[in-house]
Chains A and B, each alone.
Chain A
Amino acid sequence: MPDSVLSFQNVSKNFSGLRVIDEVTFDVERGSRTALIGPNGAGKTTVFNLISGVYPIDQGQVLLDGDDISTLPVRQRINRGISRSFQNIRLMPHLSAVENVMLGQHSHSRSIGSLLFPLGWLPRNRWAKQAEEALAQAGLGTYPGEVVANLPYGVQKRIEVVRAMISEPKVLMLDEPAAGLNEQETEDLRLLLEQVSERGVTLLVVEHDMQFVRRLCDQVVVLNFGKKIFEGLASEVQEDQAVKEAYLGTEDVGDAA
């Protein structure tokens, strides 16, 4: 049996009577690079929200390393190793790039001592250093001190990714990380994520850019109208009849084929 780090078991979620996630079950294999795809409104972001605890689930279980985390408070889920980025940028607008990334380290420095550690006064402390290096590695080395509200969209988008990955979580969930990036930035992002993956972080990525998905991911889960319609190897997804039908009339999969 494959070793799954994260497992969605028979999960359902309704929003005001409307079933948005319908008895969905899938496994994310440890160390895999799993894509979660599907047409707009399929429920991909909702899956992330249910895993990270933004909303409670109505039914089912979410297992991390075999433990049900679906009733844990939001805050404790990142401490267990679940980190995410957001489809619509949710950086802290008044913080600098490096401060946003240092927020991503919070789950590793929760003692009173580390809460009172002056991150800003000792510029080469290990937290600031780690954050600045991670930014540099993502090609953002010129931005650490800048307030993020003033930075271009593509840069903010990548800071989101760096903030989510800095804690080296067990499962890194990225919601459309390549949206709005140009070709070069997308390729750089893919290389960055490959490095993250090689360090043992499991990736769960929502992305519409199928070329990006095919190059980066080995596993794919496809959602349509809140139901799982495919789970398997990335190399097989485009031959699947149900997936083809779900995307009929849209360009997402056809383009990449």
Chain B
Amino acid sequence: MSGYWAGIMAILCFNIVVAYSVFLPAASGQLNLGAAGFVAIGAYSSGYISTDLGAPMLLAILLGALVTGFVAFVISFPILRTRGVYMVLATFAFAEVVQGVFINLEVFGAAAGYPVAAFADLNVIVPLTIGVVVFVFFLMTTRLGLSMRAVHDDEPVATLFGVHARFTQVTAFTLGGVVAGIGGAIWAHNFNYVEIQNFNILLSIFVLLYVLIGGTQTAFGPLIGAVFFTLMPEALRVSEEWRFVIFGILIILMMVVRPEGLVTRTMLDRIKGPFIRRKPAPVVDS
């Protein structure tokens, strides 16, 4: 694989992982515009653990993810008190605070950035990414995943059926943090340099776009969204000047044509329909 494609592949994996970190809370009805903040925490903490503490890289990635998950858990309580657009603002504000903290932390080189020693090539990144994707698909088939989607659709009714909405949302937010931490760790060990400037609001916006345009109803959404948005700009490189105009128009078009995202439950049913006709369960006489 050429260096060019390896680079794109690594970015693609990073985008997919971070998209899933935003998808998990989104699937239970919470909009997170602070992905960059969590990614930064994962990048710095895993980089620090592998470089300064000298831990093996995979262990550092895992610990970085756990640190990020812990931060997500703690801040989920104030954040989940907010709703809708206020939650968007709260998560955005969190990411700004994170940026402000890291830019002043001398231990991480402050604004100059933080060099990370260990290198993660695609042999590490791709399996990690696949692991995240499989985990999220699995989670969404469990009763917890069902609870998340129920809380997303109608929280009061989900509660009436016994779902602990707060527990469900805190869990989704925390797991989202863990996944974002993995994304940050991938970044840190692939670029071997962590600069807080890379984890800015644009990253948070783009990742949220991947998820919302890919669709929050199924675990396919973020995958399709991230792949589409990572590869599309590459395909548009041919017309460099018009690239961002075309890109913007595409986003608007998709929001008009498929307001619930590219991949919806109904669409999956249509695709599955002709191939997998499940036999109706037999009527049981009683």
The chain A residues found within 8 Å of chain B, CB to CB, are 52-54, 74-75, 77-79, 83-84, 86, 90, 92-96, 99, 102-104, 106-107, 109-110, 114-121, 123, 127, 129, 132-133, 135-137, 141-142, 144-147, 149-150, 163, 195
Contact = CB atoms under 8 A, between A and B. Distances in A.
B161 interface: yes
Interface string B138-166: 10111111110110111011111111100
A17 B9 CA distance: 63
Given A86-B157, A106-B143, A121-B138, 18 more contacts: A75-B160, A90-B157, A92-B149, A94-B265, A96-B265, A102-B146, A103-B147, A109-B143, A114-B143, A118-B141, A132-B280, A141-B281, A141-B283, A142-B280, A144-B281, A147-B265, A147-B269, A195-B286
A65 to B, nearest CB: 18
A86 B147 CA distance: 19
Contacts of B2: none
Interface residues of B, number: 35
A137 B162 contact: no
A103 B283 contact: no
8 contacts: A75-B163, A103-B147, A104-B161, A106-B161, A120-B145, A123-B278, A137-B283, A141-B283
A118 B149 contact: no
B160 A119 contact: no
A119 B157 contact: no
A31 B163 CA distance: 27
Closest 3 CB pairs of A and B: A120-B141, A141-B280, A132-B281
Contacts, number: 117
Contacts of A54: 156, 160
B158 to A, nearest CB: 7
Contacts of A149: 266
Given A94-B217, A136-B283, A103 B278 contact: no
Contacts of B274: none
Contacts of B78: none
A135 B141 CA distance: 20
A120 B163 CA distance: 18
Contacts of A163: 161
Contacts of B140: 120
Contact of B281 (A53, A74, A93, A129): A129
Given A74-B159, A86-B157, A115-B144, A137 B149 contact: no
A136 B281 contact: yes
Contacts of B283: 136-137, 141
Contacts of B138: 118, 121
Given A94-B153, A103-B163, A136-B280, A119 B266 contact: no
Nearest to A130: B281
A118 B156 CA distance: 24
Contacts of A123: 278
A115 B167 CA distance: 12
Given A116-B143, A147-B266, A106 B281 contact: no
B282 interface: yes
Contacts of B280: 132, 136, 141-142, 144
Interface string B160-200: 11111000000000000000000000000000000000000
Contacts of A141: 280-281, 283
A253 B156 CA distance: 34
Contact of A95 (B141, B149, B156): B149
A78 B158 CA distance: 11
B284 A137 contact: yes
Residue in A94, A110, A145 with the greatest tally of chain B CB atoms within 10 Å: A94
B161 A103 contact: yes
Given A92-B157, A136-B282, A119 B152 contact: no
A250 to B, nearest CB: 30
A121 B135 CA distance: 13
A132 B279 CA distance: 11
Interface string B109-146: 00000000000000000000000000000101111111
Nearest to A74: B159
Nearest to A76: B162
Given A75-B163, A95-B153, A133 B217 contact: no
A79 B265 contact: no
A78 B157 CA distance: 11
B27 to A, nearest CB: 10
B26 to A, nearest CB: 12
Contacts of B266: 147, 149-150
Contacts of A144: 278, 280-281
A75 B143 contact: no
A54 B160 CA distance: 8
A53 B157 CA distance: 11
A145 B269 contact: yes
A149 B138 CA distance: 24
Given A121-B138, A133-B281, A137-B283, A92 B154 contact: yes
